[in-house]
Amino acid sequence: MKVDIIGGGLSGLSTAISIKDHDPSIHVILHEKHSEIGQNRDARKCGEAHCIEYFSKKWTPPAEAIATEIHYGKIEAGKKTYVYKRQPGTAWILDRPKFITSLMEKAKENDVEFILNDRITDVTKLSSDVIVDASGCPSMIRKKLGLPHRYVSYGYQQTLTNCSAYEEKTLKIFFENNGGYYWIFPRHPETREVNLGIGLYLHNHVKLPALLEEFKKEHHITGTIDYSIGGFIPAGLQYPLRYKNIIFVGDAGVGTLPMNGQGIYRALMSGDIAGKYIAQQNLKGYVREIMREFIKMDIIGKTLVRWNSLLYHINPTLVLSSWNYYELFNEKLSFFQSGYHNIE
């Protein structure tokens, strides 16, 4: 059996590793458009927050791939603040390029074949039994097949050193009345480095860098910009999850948590699940399990975003009330679907 994986990011690598864990005899070929895996610009296109969940501890990052551990999450919606506590050793801000590199090394140890500088845009050129689209968002494979991403937001992030907003081991998210959210994630303590970003669903014509600068002024945030990047954020499940012998993982398939853009956990989990069902030659099983795992939060998240869009056009101040009602509900679900618990 032969499997082609398009994309050498988190979901592509986790799929390759999972396939080999379940059946080492499967020939796995991973195609990467860049000349290197992990050490490219796409490797930093996210906030880098990662937590291990109930499904597996196998994706715990190695020490060299951890920028800092996270013990607290703070959510601000208007004048209300929610503080959550996380069990030590279960949540981190990653040095994402190093984490991706560690996954690549593990895949190589399992005899995954890598082809670099290989941009795949047409799957008809591949002759494998199964094709995995792990190319991210936007996926040229989906576009070529007439299956575009249907629900996306936009994000922009800066990495700041010597940042005045650095707070040790604390991840912060700010919900705003424009229907979007901002994040401040501590990265490297020794340089007081943070990832500061914005995700926005409404009014995508607004320039995100300008909005982020306004946010910095409002919160008196200073620091030296070391790195900046922006792009699409696929909000929630991107249907269909399977097309003939092609399955979609990571941002090309399961997307991010609609409420706050969380995607690393979902990318790894989708790859883990995909590998199991590819080894079983049961692609329909992949779709069923993904739906079981993600459909509840997908419905809640997309409904909330649509509701906030409606409220914005009625009265923008109502959006913050909506976020607060969500947080009250979220306390029962637990923060980020994981081991955070409200301590305020």
Please determine, for residue 97, whether its predicted confidence score (pLDDT) is greater than 90. yes
* pLDDT value of position 177: 84
User: Mean of the pLDDT values across residues 241-245?
Assistant: 97
Q: Do β-strands 113-115 and 27-31 pair in parallel, antiparallel, or remain unpaired?
A: parallel
Please determine, for residue 128, whether its predicted confidence score (pLDDT) is greater than 60. yes
Whole-angstrom distance, CA of residue 216 vs CA of residue 133: 37
Say if CB 139 and CB 33 are below 8 A apart.
no
Whole-angstrom distance, CA of residue 150 vs CA of residue 133: 16
pLDDT in tens, 314-336: 888 888 888 887 776 665 554 44
User: Mean of the pLDDT values across residues 114-134?
Assistant: 94
Whole-angstrom distance, CA of residue 103 vs CA of residue 62: 10
Least confident segment among 111-120, 139-148, 149-158: 149-158
* Between 327 and 299, the higher pLDDT residue: 299
Say if CB 148 and CB 142 are below 8 A apart.
yes
Whole-angstrom distance, CA of residue 235 vs CA of residue 261: 7
Taking the CA atoms of the chain, what radius of gyration do you get in angstroms?
19
Neighbours of 74 (CB within 10 A): 16
* pLDDT value of position 202: 59
User: Mean of the pLDDT values across residues 228-237?
Assistant: 90
Complete domains list, the chain, with CATH: 2-342 (3.50.50.60)
Closest among 127, 130, 148 to 139, alpha carbons compared: 148
Whole-angstrom distance, CA of residue 88 vs CA of residue 60: 13
Please determine, for residue 144, whether its predicted confidence score (pLDDT) is greater than 90. yes
Please determine, for residue 344, whether its predicted confidence score (pLDDT) is greater than 60. no
Element (H, E) at 276: helix 264-279
